Structure 1
Amino acid sequence: MMQRFFSLLMFLLVVFVAVDAQHTEKGKASYYSDHFEGKKTASGEAYQAILLTAAHRTLPFGTKVKVTNLKNSKSVVVRINDRGPFSMGRIIDLSKSAMETLDGINDGVIDVEIEVQKEQ
């Protein structure tokens, strides 16, 4: 019982430290197809293409992330509400409106930098 408690405590500590630190990553981003409209995300919310949301493998739900298109320097802030991406080499899946803001729709997959935003 105590070992489970300490394991949970260590997990929470790692999560809070990771979110509090200036977390940045570079990699590939894709976006949700129209097929996912209205379907439930891992957080329980329904996916809506018009919202500025995204999927990340490990960041806690509700985390705000600035995503910058490395090709044109356009950026957008999204809220993590789903898990993924599940394609190798990709670090984030964006909602359609987020990808449109980055001018990445025609490319489909773009090179990005993501940066966790501190709460104000």
Structure 2
Amino acid sequence: MINKSLYIPLYLVVISSLFTISCCIPESDTFQEDDCFIDSGTASWYGEYFHGKLTASGERYDTETLTAAHKTLPFNTIVRVVNVENEKSVEVRINNRGPFTGDRIIDLSRKAAQKINIIDDGLAEVELYLVKEGERPIQDLECE
């Protein structure tokens, strides 16, 4: 027979782990005035074909996470992506390199693209704002 008193500590560990994971990347639809502007241009998204494949950072790409590919930003940098047409925004963590098509500046995961309503069109004009620097300082960025 299983000792039911063991369930409480296990339950607390699971709940605290879920809370910690959910706090890693806040989901927000509001623009923060104090975020540091990085760039503006065209965003795209990448989906099922890449799902489960290794990213440049070494982790597996998951279409249901709030991640993105950027050509130069350090891995684990968190940026706010603002769709300039509808002003919806999402915070994503950089974990891959790209995009390597056209003049695009960022490739979003499917979930991130859904948050700012670019799934159907596939592309959108966006602005990028630094929320948190990643593994190394970002050079030549002037923020107050």
Q: TM-score range by the shorter chain?
A: 0.7 to 0.9
Indicate yes or no: 2:46 matched with 1:32. Answer: yes
Aligned residue in 2 for 1:79: 93
Following the alignment from structure 2 to structure 1, what is the Cα–Cα distance between the partners of residues 38 and 44?
Answer: 17
Matching of residues 1-120 of structure 1 within 5 Å: 22-118=36-132
Name the SS of the counterpart of 2:113 in structure 1.
helix
CA deviation after TM superposition for structure 1 residue 118, in Å: 3.5
Note if contact 2:37-2:127 (Cα within 8 Å) is conserved in structure 1.
no
Following the alignment from structure 1 to structure 2, what is the Cα–Cα distance between the partners of residues 56 and 84?
Answer: 5
Gaps of at least 5 residues in structure 2 are 1-35, 134-144
Name the SS of the counterpart of 2:119 in structure 1.
coil
CA RMSD of superposed structures (Å): 1.4
Aligned residues: 99
Runs of 4+ that moved beyond 4 A: none
